[in-house]
Amino acid sequence: EKAGYEHFMLKEIHEQPTSIQNTFAGKLSELEGNVTLEELYLSKEEIKRLKRATIIACGTSWNAGILGKYLFEKLAGIHTDIETASEFRYSNPVLCGEELTIAITQSGETADTLAAVRSSTSYGCRSIAITNVVGSTITRESDSVLYTRAGPEIGVAATKTFTAQLIVLYMLAINLGRARGVISADEAKDLIVAIKRLPGQIQKVLSRKDTINECAVQFADKRDYFFIGRYLNFPVALEGALKLKEISYIHAEGYAAGELKHGPLALITDETPVVAIATKGHTYEKILSNIKEVKARNATVIAVADDDDTEIEKYVDVVIRVPSTHELLAPVLSSVALQLLSYYTALAKDCSIDKPRNLAKSVTVE
Ligand code: F6R
């Protein structure tokens, strides 16, 4: 059932060209520059009136939610908060009932997320669930359900469900942004064309697994790792760190790169590899400065960079390449590369990859 792969995680990483294709199939209209989401029960008028959205999630889904916040704000002009489900309920949320709640939960059964959604809908908020499991509890608690069509995920570490969540978030942001007149049909079209190219580009990332494996083996004995990124690459850094600690048991921290100088820089030495997610975009120059900051502390820097970036080698020790895409979509490709980095690190350390210690696939206790 592992289809020849050594672990479910590796199989699921390799399924991403298909799982992403299935998630957007039939929804992207290049001609109209729009995304059709028939399952979204919000009228155009309601969408126009939206003032605020709150994304609620845990773990990897929460990391996806940070990207969602940036997308809803940029493409749909909706002020969006991202909340950790286990904190939300106990933090006296100020809701007036006009906010949209978006729950992201792969399993649809995470107790903290369910509880947080119930408390927001008790204020009268409209709700959308993004989940991978048909008929899961969250689907009965939400007005609209947007499915990630990633297929069953067996490995405890979320991989293909994460990238499928990103795809749903892009589609929802484009749909809301078009309804609200925040983005033009042409801007939407550019994104849609780029989304359709992702499955082939993921295939390319997968074909470079030997290089990523070499990098993983080189640093598998390190005790600490840092992952840094800015803007859309910040959640990629968080997810890269979460995946590494989860399956390889290496202490890893994900940071907004600009935050390094406010504390964590004290921990950077020649013994801490720093993964810098440095795909091209409007924060590229800034991340280069952050790379110089850590290099000055003798850190080994592994950069995730675009194929057409010809200068990055000058600044870093190792480059993991991903195909160039629309600036907003790069997180999908970088995340796949980092999943492979975690996988091969855990493999080199002979860890229990599909069932990491102390963790469960679905967390049904609060
Ligand atoms: C990490 C991981 C967890 C889950 C979290 C939420 O690889 O899988 O962090 O993302 O437990 O689970 P769902 O998405 O089912 O609510």
Determine which one of 74, 204, 355, 361 is catalytic. 361
Q: 111 C-alpha vs ligand 1 centroid, how far in Å?
A: 11
User: What confidence score (pLDDT) does residue 360 get?
Assistant: 79
Alpha carbon of 60 to ligand 1 centroid (Å): 5
Q: Estimate to the nearest angstrom the gap between the alpha carbon of 16 and the chain centroid.
A: 13
Ligand 1 midpoint to CA 217 (Å): 26
Average pLDDT over residues 53-66: 97
pTM value > 0.90: yes
Q: What is the DSSP annotation of 150-164?
A: -----SSS--HHHHH
Rg of the chain over all Cα atoms, to the nearest angstrom: 20
Beta-bridge partner residues of 304: 277, 320
Q: How confident is the model at residue 356 (pLDDT cuts 50, 70, 90)?
A: confident
Amino acid 354: pLDDT: 85
52 Cα: distance to centroid of ligand 1 (angstroms): 25
Which atom of ligand 1 is the closest one to the Cα of 361?
8
ipTM for the whole predicted complex goes beyond 0.85: yes
Q: Is 246 in the pocket of ligand 1 (CB under 6 A)?
A: yes
> Which residue's CA is the closest to the ligand 1 atom numbered 9?
59
* Ligand 1 pocket check for 107: Cβ under 6 Å: yes
Classify the C-alpha dihedral 287-320-235-218 as positive or negative.
negative
Given a cut of 90, whether residue 339 has pLDDT beyond it is yes
Can you give the pLDDT at residue 96?
82
Q: What is the pLDDT of residues 89-143, one digit of tens each?
A: 888 888 888 889 999 999 999 999 999 999 888 888 899 999 999 999 999 999 9
Residues of the chain by 3-state class (helix, strand, coil), percent to 5: 50, 15, 35
Q: How far is CA 223 from CA 68, 122, 135, 245, 338, in A?
A: 32, 45, 41, 10, 18
pLDDT tens digits, 145-157: 999 999 999 998 9
% of the chain with per-residue pLDDT over 70: 100
Q: Is the CB of 106 under 6 A from ligand 1?
A: yes
Residue 227 in this model has a pLDDT that exceeds 90: yes
CA angle 40, 202, 335 (to 5 degrees): 75
**What sign results for the dihedral spanned by CA atoms 96, 102, 107, 110?**
negative
- Residue 158 CB less than 6 A away from ligand 1: yes
pLDDT value, residue 36: 97
- Sign for the CA dihedral angle at 66, 148, 15, 109 comes to positive
Tell me if residue 361 is catalytic: yes
Confidence class of residue 330 from pLDDT cuts 50, 70 and 90?
Answer: very high
Convert the pLDDT of each residue in 167-206 to its tens digit: 999 999 999 999 999 999 999 999 999 999 999 999 999 9
pLDDT (tens digit, 9 = 90+) per residue, 203-221? 999 999 999 999 999 999 9
Q: Judge if the beta carbon of residue 335 lies within 6 A of ligand 1.
A: no
DSSP state of 223: S
Asked whether the predicted pLDDT for residue 358 surpasses 90, the reply is: no
Residue 110 Cβ contacting ligand 1 at under 6 Å: yes
Cα 58 to averaged position of ligand 1 atoms, centre (Å)? 6
pLDDT band at residue 361 using 50, 70 and 90 as cut-offs:
confident
